[in-house]
Structure 1
Amino acid sequence: MTTSPDSDFHLNRPGALIAALPAVLGFVPEQSLVLVTLDRGELGCVMRVDLDTALDDHLAHLAEVAARGAPEAAIAVIVDELGAGCRMCNDDHRFLAEVLTDALDGQGIELRDVHVVERIAAGARWHCADGCGRGGSVEDPSSSPVAAAAVLDGRRLYQRRSELQDVIAISDADHTAALEAAIVEAMAARAKRPRDDAATRADVEAAMVAASAAARGERPSDADAARLACALRNPHVRDVLYALAVGSKAAQGESLWSTLARSLPSPWRADALVLLAFSAYARGDGPLAGISLDAAIDCDPTHEMARMLDEALQRGMRPEQIRELGLSGFRVAARIGVSLPPRQPFDRRAG
C-alpha cells in the first residue's frame, strides 16, 4: 500500500514510523517482518510477511516486489513478541537483517535501518537489529497522523490480520455449498440464450438494483445471487460495474460485492472479490484490497484483473491511478444503454 503521511510524520523517527504501521497495514502486525520502502521522502510500498521458519525463502521475493516501485531506500521492522527481549535471539535478528540487506542490495535498494520491537503499542521499546545501541519508545499508534488520516477516510483499523480476513470470509459454508447447484443450473439456462448488449444491460441493471438493496441491509435471494454470479462471469458486465467504484453510489456497490464475497462458492466468488478489491483500492483502502485480492487469486489463479490489481498494489500504484481504470466502464455503459450514477470527484485524502 502507498500512503502520503502528514507533515508531522517523520521517517527519521523510528517510534513514529513503527506506530504508523497498523494504520498503513489496516491491522496490528504480530510476529512479522514489515518492509517499508521510501519514495521521495514518503512511505512507498509497505509489505509484511510472517516470522516463521520459511522466512528466508520469502526475502528474495520481498526484495523483487520492493524493486518494482524503484524506491530510493527501505526500512525494516521486526515485530517479535517472543524474541525482542531475548539476548540469545539478537543473533537471529542480526542474521535476518544481513540476509535482507543482501537481498535488497541485489535489487539496488539500500536498507537503511532494521528495528526490532516486541509489539506495536504506545510505550513499547524498539532497538536496532545490528546492535548499534540506538533504541527508544514506540509512539501511540492511535495518535499517528497516518491513523488519523485512515479514520478520516472512513477506514476501520483491526487489532489482528485475522479480523481483517474475517471481513471477506464465507459466512455460512452450508449455504454457500447449496448455492453452487443453483449457479450451475442458472449457467446452463443462460447458455441457451443469446449473449448480446441487451442481455449485458439487463445483468448490469439487476446488479445495480441488488447493490441498492444490499446498502439497505437486504441480502440477495438465492435465485438473485445465482444470477449475479453468472452475470459477473461476463467481462463486459464487470467492466461496467467497475465504474460504480468511481461513482456516487460506490458504497452501494461495495456492500453488494462484500455480501457476495462472503456467500458465493469458488470460482464465482473470485469476481465478487475482485470488484470488492477494486472498490476498496479506489477509495484508498489498500489493506482490504490486498486481502480481497489474495482470496480472489486463491479462488481463481488465472483471473486477469485480480493479477493486474495485485501487481498494481505491490508496485505502490496510487488510488487515483486505479480510479482511471473505472472510467472505461462509463464508455461501455453508454454503448449498451445503461445509465450509471455520476462520477464522484476524487478525494485526495484517500491517496
Structure 2
Amino acid sequence: MATTSRFGCPLDNPDLMIASLPAVLGFVPEKSLVLVTAADGEMGAVLRIDLPDGDTGPLFELAEVAAVAEPEVAVAIIVDGEGAGCRMCAEDYREWTQLLTEELAERHVELIAAHVVDVVDAGGRWYCADGCGRSGRVADPTASPLALAAVLDGRRLYARRADLVAVVTPTEPERAAGLARLLDKADGVERCDIGSRIEFALASAAQIAAGSALSDDDLVRLGTSLDHPQVRDTLYALAVGDGAGPAESLWADLSRRLPVPWRAEALVLLAFSAYARGDGPLAGIALDAALSCEPGHNMAGMLDQALRSGIRPEEIRDLARTGYRIAAELGIPLPPRRLFGRRAG
C-alpha cells in the first residue's frame, strides 16, 4: 500500500514527491540530502542537510532528529547536479544510504527508498541511489499540491536557501554597532510604560507595512521594549491576529537591524509568527539564528524542539492566549484573532 501525505502526494511516486520539496522546504534544494518521514499515512518531518563532505557525522544527527517524532518510514533524496553519472559519487550515495538505513532502523524507522536527482525542477532526472534501476523525471514543482497550499497560506517560495537566510541576515553592521551603544545606555521599560510600548510596536508594524523605514530612536525603543517580558509576551499574540502580516514584517526588519543580543527577541517573534501560520522553513531559519545569538534562550529552545518534533502549528498558536490576556488586563485592544482554515487533503 502506498504511503501518502495528507496533501495526496504518494511517497512511492518520486516524480511528485521530489517536485514537492521546494514548497515544503521554502526553497529549491541544491547539493542537499533531504529526508522525508511519514507515519499513519501522513507526511511528517522533512529535514535537509548539506551533502556530507567526508564527514558522516551529520547523517547520524539527521537520523536522530528524524526519529524524535517516531515516524514509521522515511525516504531519502540526494540532490546533486554535479554528481550525476559520477561513478565515485554513486559509491558515496550507496554509503550514505546504507548508513541512514542502519541508523534509522536502530530507531525503529524504515528507510523505504533513496533517490538521487540532478535538479529539483520540471524534467529533472532522478534514479535509485542503490542501483535498483528505477528512474524518472521530476514533475513541475510549481504545480504540486503543496505549492498550491503554500500560495494559499501566503508563503513565499525562494529560489535558493541563501535567499531565505537573507530574510534574517544583518544588513548594516556599522549601524548595528552604533545601536548597541545606544541600547546599552537606554533606560529600561517602566511598568507604567508597558502599554505605550506595545502601542508603539503596533504603530511601527504599520509604518513598516507602509514602506517607511524606522529611525535609530525607533529601533532603540523597540529593542528595549522586546527585552521586557510583559511587552514581549503580549506581542506574541499578534501572530494569530488580523495584523499578523505587518507584525511579521516588523520582526524580520528588526532581526536584520538590531545588534546581538537584542535581535534574538525579534528573531523568536519572527519564528513564532512563521510557525503559527505554518511556515516551518522560515521558522527554522529564524530559530537557528536566535539560538546562535543566545544559545540558552528558553522560548527559542522550546519552539525549536517543537518544530523538530513535528508539533503542528495549531498547537503552537495556543501560546498566543497569554498575549491577549495581558493586553486585556492593560486595556490595550489587539487585532482580532484570525480564523485559520483547514486545508483540503
**Which residues in structure 2 correspond to 1:1-351 (within 5 Å)?**
5-7=6-8, 9-53=9-53, 55-186=55-186, 189-190=187-188, 195-196=190-191, 198-349=192-343
TM-score where L is the length of structure 1 = 0.93
- What secondary structure is seen at the aligned counterpart in 2 of 1:262? helix
TM-score where L is the length of structure 2 = 0.95
- What secondary structure is seen at the aligned counterpart in 1 of 2:343? helix
Within 1, Cα distance between the matches of 2:260 and 2:22? 31
Within 1, Cα distance between the matches of 2:45 and 2:7? 16
Within 2, Cα distance between the matches of 1:307 and 1:350? 31
Within 2, Cα distance between the matches of 1:335 and 1:21? 44
- What secondary structure is seen at the aligned counterpart in 2 of 1:49? strand
Q: Which amino acid aligns with 2:82?
A: L
Flag structure 2 segments of 5+ consecutive residues without an equivalent.
Answer: none
Q: Which amino acid aligns with 1:84?
A: A
> Identity of aligned pairs, percent?
54
Q: Which amino acid aligns with 1:109?
A: V
Runs of 4+ in structure 1 over 6 Å off: none
Within 2, Cα distance between the matches of 1:6 and 1:43? 8
Per-residue CA distance 1:246-302 (angstroms, 9 max, x = gap): 111111211211111110001100100110111111111111111111111111111
| Number of residue pairs matched by the alignment | 342
Q: CA RMSD in A?
A: 1.7
Q: Structure 1 residues 55, 44: CA separation in 2 closer, same or farther (over 3 Å shift)?
A: farther
- What secondary structure is seen at the aligned counterpart in 1 of 2:74? strand
Within 1, Cα distance between the matches of 2:84 and 2:344? 34
C-alpha contact 1:5 1:146 (8 A) present in aligned 2: no
Q: Which amino acid aligns with 1:145?
A: P
- What secondary structure is seen at the aligned counterpart in 2 of 1:92? helix
Within 2, Cα distance between the matches of 1:224 and 1:350? 43
Within 1, Cα distance between the matches of 2:228 and 2:85? 54
C-alpha contact 1:284 1:350 (8 A) present in aligned 2: no
Flag structure 1 segments of 5+ consecutive residues without an equivalent.
Answer: none
Q: C-alpha displacement at 1:350, in angstroms?
A: 10
- What secondary structure is seen at the aligned counterpart in 2 of 1:75? strand
Within 2, Cα distance between the matches of 1:75 and 1:55? 21
